[in-house]
Structure 1
Amino acid sequence: MQIDLVAVIVDEYDPAIEFFTGILGFDLVEDSPALTNDGRPKRWVVIRPPGAQTGILLARADGERQTAAVGDQAAGRVGFFLRVDDFDAAYQRMTMAGVTFVREPRTEPYGRVAVFLDIAGNRWDLLGALQAEGDKAGRQTH
């Protein structure tokens, strides 16, 4: 058993695709025409971090209730967690690309973490492993 997809409600498809693929480096897995339950056109848009099995369905808000949920899917809490191999490089790349970080990087017992907002305004943890002592020393000398 596995979780296949998680939906993120967005205002529009194309800016969301650009954010997740162009800025975060996710892969666009599918972008197909589809229909709503009542027959209106929509798109089935799935993105996924490279190599990951679980993907994100980018769902354009449909109606007042869904529009109100854009950016607040986890009621103001961190609701999504992105683990990266090189925390410092990812943080710097995302900062340079204009990603909004609402909490600066800090070190916790489980690793490095900083909180950022996606294009819709949802909070994410950017997570990375703790640096080994040898890595810290090596980076300081270069």
Structure 2
Amino acid sequence: SANAEEGTRLARSASAALEEIVTSIERVEEQTDEIAAASEEQSATSEQIARSVQSISAAAQESAAGVTQVAGAAEDLNGLTDRLRANVEQFDLGEGAGGEKSHVGRGDSEGQGDSEASPQASSPQASSRASRDYGGDGHPSGTASL
């Protein structure tokens, strides 16, 4: 009967070891499921980050194109301003209200008079003089339109 008791003890020991193995396998299975879920979440997050980076890249490219377009427009506007200034400087508007020559677009003090506005500039005489000088067509007499 000593052999029977030894066999029973070994069987119980083997059963306990098997139960421990099953518990360990269940724990490993749960951890594997958690790892798989975390991997899927990381994959989804990585895809979202990649889409965001692409969106930021596209926005940066659009912004760069806009900056280039604005720079080109500013350059064009500078050129047009220079041309307009050169064209305006060609016009001599004749006698000013104070008997001085009036030059449009000049940076010098000639024809600028006092720093205050001249009351004669808005008078009917000034208006008819401007109408006469411009020949009624909006262009100075004797000059071609721009």
Normalised to the residue count of structure 2, the TM-score between the two structures is 0.19
Greater relative CO (CA pairs within 8 A, separation 6+)? 1
1 or 2, which has the higher helix percentage?
Answer: 2
Q: Which of structures 1 and 2 has the bigger CA Rg?
A: 2
1 or 2, which has the higher strand percentage?
Answer: 1
Normalised to the residue count of structure 1, the TM-score between the two structures is 0.19
